[in-house]
Amino acid sequence: MDTKNYEAFLAEIGSYLDKDQVYTDELRTLGWGTDAGFYRLIPKVVVRARDEEDVSRIVRACHKHKLPFTFRAAGTSLSGQSVSDSVLIVAGKHWEKYEISDDRNSIRLQPGIVGSQVNRVLKPYGRVFPPDPASIGSAMVGGIVCNNASGMNCGVHANSDRMLISARIILPDGTLVDTGNEASKASFRRTHSEMIRRIENLRDRVRADKKLAERIRYKYSIKNVTGLNLRPLIAYDDPFEIMAHCMVGSEGTLAFLSEVTMRTLYDYRFRASAMVYFHTMEESCRAVVAMKGMKATEKDIEMSAEDLVVKSAEMLDYLSLGSVNDPVFLQYKKDVDAGLVPGVQPGDYHNLTAILTETKAVTHEELLSKIDRVKQCLANFNLYQQPEFTDDPQIYGKYWAIRSGIFPSVGGTRPEGTTCLIEDVAFHLEDLPVATVKLQKLIADYGYSDACIYGHAFEGNYHFILNQSFHTEAEVKRYESMMRDVARLVVEEFDGSLKAEHGTGRNMAPFVKYEWGEAAYAAMKELKQIFDPENLLNRGVIFNDDPQCFIKNFKPLPVLDFRFDNIPDGGQFLTLAEGSRSSTKDMVEGVRRANKCIECGFCEVNCVSCGFTISSRMRIVVQREIRDLENRGADPERVARLRKLYEYYGDATCAADGLCATSCPMKINTGDLTHLIRQLNMMQNPTGYRVGKFAADHLGGLKSNLRLVLGAANLGHTLLGTSLMSGICSGAHRVGLPLWTSAMPRSFRQPKPGTHVGHGDLKVVYFPSCINQTMGVAKGSPVKNTVVEEMCSLINKAGYEVIFPRNMDRMCCGQIWESKGMMDIADRKSGELEESLWEASEHGRYPILCDQSPCLHRMRKVISRMKLYEPVEFIMTYLVDRLTFHKTDRRVAVHVTCSTKEMGLGSQLLELARLCSDNVVEPEGIGCCAFAGDRGFTYPESNRYALRKLRPQIEKMQVVTGYSNSRTCEIGLQSNSGIPYMSIAYLVNECTEAR
């Protein structure tokens, strides 16, 4: 890139974009230069576009300064489509709007909404978003459509190309055209008449070439995303229809897709699945062919063609099954080794293949009929065991979760330091049995003993995963030769698709002409030139003049190796961890597990800082880079710069809430990595450690001082008023003090430790969290009682006596020290608390309640010999049956905290709230609030970003109160919603009376 052009570009976009939209630093360009694929290019500049005007201005500037640019949504692309060494334009988190049509048969979508979210908003209407890639829980609509991603239940008939109605497109010159709007099309015809003429001319020439037109039809009769989408040229007359549909599968090489209108499909109410096990892969393929030929007796309610009895059939070879510890496969291995499988020698379990089969119906009777027909079909094949279909979502959901997690799970089993690669090909169904076996043999002949084959057998579409080292020239040559032989097998022997649904990308760009032939390739090149005459969009993707491009720019996955020998007491760290409480051991094990990360990005949908600073995936990327450079002794200046930048972008703004692990197939908790880094930093900061130790040793006094501070702040609030007090405190925050907000409560002195409240034979030990021992209610609060007082009132109402543990003013669960990286202090405080609770509960005789969900979450990790409960679970377990509920008419909002989700109690919180009101809402798109203990006071910008969607929903739904089960989270929620948030105990106490 020309430095002057680059500088001029930055100056131009800097005049109208906010500075937090443009990144040029080493850390964020590295993070954004990584996607789920196996290539890496580090962009010179990353620009986050907020709306269509931003995109138009940015692409015009790129066009003006001759700078190549690439678009990116979620970064779950697998073939190198969303990386760039020039300008990377990100359109994700701020592009999430949607609008459902009145008849529910279509939906208008911005490119940044996640596919699974589309299905959530359609579910109440009995409709579904047609494409269903395995990454639908993380992939965004822009990437799904522009890669023509399909998936497990989405064949050619329901892919994005067939389901698209219209699109809003921004061309490389910055012009926007809406192909579903007559005024926009008329304007475009006037300003871009030559482009329209060229599209029509290309359309007519392609149609006139009968051989080419027929080849296009044949190639798209199966899944095919190799090259640009040529089907629109023979399928549509209107040039605007052609423009819109050519965007499908274009991989960002033609224009920017700012909005798309898609058809929705009927969401079958009744469905059943079975995992069917075959002794050989070839026989499983023959069974798939047979099932594909089964026709239903009734017409499909969506299509004029006859409905297929089987809706989908996914193949998993033995390595795929092994990677996810499939229990039937494990039993099969035992049976084979015990000689219990006729015709199979001990140790020869490598041919077992499973087909995950699904059938759907409009009625339950129809479903049962279809299941019987599928079983009759399968009876003609040699199976390991009889198929058992289930219509229980809890059971078949696990089957499909196994299938969705194959890629990251297999990637997680790779040898450390190797790269995980995935390819996908498609064959015509009649070729499937022979082609599949040949493909498996070809890969095995190249020595890829851990490579697995799996995928959409019903559509003749397979993925194969390779764990590949590129450390030597011989390894690179092996991969190159294997891929060229795969191309020959797919193209020359079976005329299939080299890319079925993952997009051409950089890895298949050299083979586009080879698959399609000269005439079709020429048409693709002309289409590219019509849209992008300067060849600035996503260079190297689909069209690449370098025949070796597919073996260049591989993404390194170095070992995340932490060294302790240069840190004071660091050599003792792992020994300390192994001998400490489970929280520390979990942290160390969590960091070790992070080495399994293949950077797929599935975690980002639950990462609260994604789109604000950097994401959980990017934290691993950057730490790998730092550790690799440091351990090799390379480029210490770069290491220093990355470390400095990481302090804020990586560490300070990480909520460490663990939710990233809930959507990671390998259950990698990046919070463990954050805690380890904080502990290592603390080892090098003896002053900070001494402060933490002093606080732990004098916790009672610290709480007393905090009450004085809260009292003074409340007095200032009363005397100065909210506006003046907020202004003063905002100024103080800018110079480093924690931020005060109007949601901050006044002080509270808890009941005397060791006392009892109420009377009765039923008893509960109540340990109020440190925060609730010191904080009362906020000025202007609609309630008068503190959390502790309200909880005691509710418990006594149900007939329980409350016991407060002795010395509780000096007790703490240790969470605050864990969050600071002082794990040894955290574990010491947990130990002290455990002994106090053990005594108060009479050695575990009574249940123990903590009123703060995050505190209880940690307590459960480190204390196992007593029954520990947070408010929701305690109320549902012990109090509900002793109370009579009277529902309020008030509309109430509920926030499920991260710890509640991790403990699996989210549904209980909602259930409890619905016992109190028929008008309970859980605001959409609100995950972790990012208050993260005390970090909401020191980094309130994270809290504001996390809750940016909250206030508009609260105001629209006219909610007046919100409820949760974490005081600090409630402070942040109240600050950013404009309504009081309080403990769920208040709502339950308000709506109940003793039985």
Q: Which residues contact 551 (CB under 8 A, 6 or more apart)?
A: 476, 479, 480
Say whether both 190 and 204 belong to one domain.
Answer: yes
Amino acid at 953: Q
- Chain-centroid distance of CA 176 in Å reads 30
518-531 and 193-208 helices, crossing angle to 10°: 170
Same-domain pairing of 711 and 847? yes
Give the CATH number of the domain where residue 145 resides.
3.30.465.10
Pairing of strands 353-361, 892-894: unpaired
The C-alpha angle with vertex 332 and arms to 326 and 338, in degrees rounded to 5, equals 145
C-alpha radius of gyration, the chain, whole number:
30
* Cross-strand pairs, 421: 466
- Residue 16, number of CB atoms within 10 A of its CB: 12
Strand partners, 884: 993
- CATH number where 369 lies: 3.30.70.2190
705 shares its domain with 641: no
Residue 428 domain flag: no
β-strands 176-178, 164-170 pairing: antiparallel
Cβ-Cβ contacts under 8 Å for 691 (sequence gap 6 or more) = none
Axis crossing angle, helix 364-378 with helix 281-292, rounded to the nearest 10: 140
In 3D, which of 556, 553, 558 has the Cα closest to residue 630? 558
Is 260:167 a contact under the CB 8 Å cutoff? yes
pLDDT of residue 583: 59
The domain containing residue 611 runs over which residues?
570-684
Whether residues 537 and 597 share a domain: the answer is: no
Q: Are 753 and 808 in contact (CB under 8 A)?
A: yes
| DSSP-derived secondary structure letter, 167 | E
Alpha helices in 110-192, H assignment, sequence order:
115-122, 141-146, 160-163, 182-191
Q: Give the per-residue pLDDT at 298.
A: 46
Q: Which amino acid is at 145?
A: V
Domain count, the chain: 4
Please report the DSSP string for 659-706 in residue order: GGGGG-TT---HHHHHHHHHHHHHHT-HHHHHHHHHHHHTHHHHHHHH
Q: Do 714 and 779 belong to one domain? A: yes
User: First-to-last CA distance in the chain?
Assistant: 76
d(CA 888, CA 629): 60
Question: Which tokens in the block code for residue 751?
Answer: 């009941």
C-alpha 150/C-alpha 249 separation (Å) is 11
DSSP string, 20-43: GGEE-SHHHHHHHTB-SSSBB---
Q: What are phi and psi of 535, to 5 degrees?
A: 55, 55
Would you say 409 and 667 are in contact if contact means Cβ atoms under 8 Å apart?
no
Q: Please give the biggest Cα pair distance in the chain.
A: 92
C-alpha span between 92 and 73 (Å, rounded): 5
E-only strand ranges, 697-847:
745-747, 756-757, 762-767, 775-778, 800-803
933 with 793, same domain: the answer is: yes
Whether 936 and 948 have beta carbons less than 8 Å apart is answered as no
Q: CB–CB of 704/740 below 8 Å? A: no
Assess if residue 181 is contained within a domain. Answer: yes
What's the helix, strand, coil split of the chain in %, to 5? Answer: 50, 15, 35
Q: What is the DSSP letter of 497?
A: B
Residue 725 phi/psi, 5° resolution? -60, -40
Residues 176 and 38 in one domain: yes
In a domain, 944, yes or no: yes
Mean pLDDT by 10 residues, the chain (995 residues): 85 94 97 93 97 97 96 93 96 94 97 96 96 92 95 88 97 97 98 98 98 97 97 98 98 98 95 94 93 70 58 91 87 91 87 94 94 96 93 90 79 79 91 92 91 90 88 93 96 96 94 97 98 97 95 90 54 46 66 86 94 96 93 94 96 93 89 87 80 87 78 77 79 76 75 70 92 85 91 94 90 89 87 94 95 93 92 96 95 95 94 96 93 89 95 95 94 94 96 94
Same domain assignment for residues 767 and 827: yes
What is the spatial distance between Cα 225 and Cα 148, in angstroms, rounded to a whole number?
7
For 671, half-sphere exposure in the C-beta direction (CA atoms, 13 angstrom radius) is 26
Specify the 3-state DSSP secondary structure of 842: coil
Side-chain-side CA neighbours of residue 554 (13 Å): 23
* 3-state SS, residue 195: helix
* 811 lies in the same domain as 858: yes
Number of other CB atoms surrounding residue 704 within 10 Å: 14
Residue 277 lies in a domain: yes
CB 966 within 8 A of CB 854: yes
CA–CA gap between residue 822 and residue 192 (Å, rounded): 63
Domain annotation covers residue 176: yes
Mark whether 244 and 327 lie in a shared domain: no
CA distances from 575 to 28, 571, 619, 672, 679 (A): 34, 8, 26, 17, 14
CA distance 95 to 83: 19
Least Cα distance to 683 among 549, 589, 571, 597 occurs for 571
**Token output for 440:** 């498996």
467 bridge partner residues: 420
* DSSP labels, 853-878: HHHHHHHHHH--SS-EE-HHHHIIII
pLDDT of residue 778: 83
Which tokens is 428 given? 């015509």
Q: Are 188 and 283 part of one and the same domain?
A: no
Same domain, 597 and 713: no
Has residue 41 been placed in a domain? yes
Q: Where are the beta strands (DSSP E) in 748-866?
A: 756-757, 762-767, 775-778, 800-803, 848-850
To the question of pTM greater than 0.95 for the whole model, the response is no
Q: Minimal CA–CA distance to 431: which of 223, 289, 277, 283? A: 289
Residues in the chain: 995
Among residues 628, 657, 684, the one where a domain terminates is: 684
Place of tokens 């109420």: 758
- Distance CA(974)–CA(308), nearest Å, equals 52
Choose the final residue of a domain: 404, 439, 457. 404
Domain stops at, among 654, 684, 714: 684
| CA 400 – CA 118 distance, rounded (Å) | 19
Cβ atoms of 989 and 797 closer than 8 Å: yes
- Asked, for residue 609, whether it belongs to a domain, the answer is yes
**20 in any annotated domain:** yes
Which tokens hold the place of 127? 């409709």
- Sign of the torsion formed by the C-alpha atoms of 816, 822, 828 and 830: positive
Give the domain CATH number at 652: 1.10.1060
Residue 582 confidence (pLDDT): 53
Cα angle 573, 576, 580; round to 5: 140
| Count of CB atoms situated within 10 Å of the CB of 286 | 16
| Sequence-ordered list of residues with C-beta below 8 angstroms from that of 932, at least 6 positions apart, any chain | 655, 656, 657, 819, 942
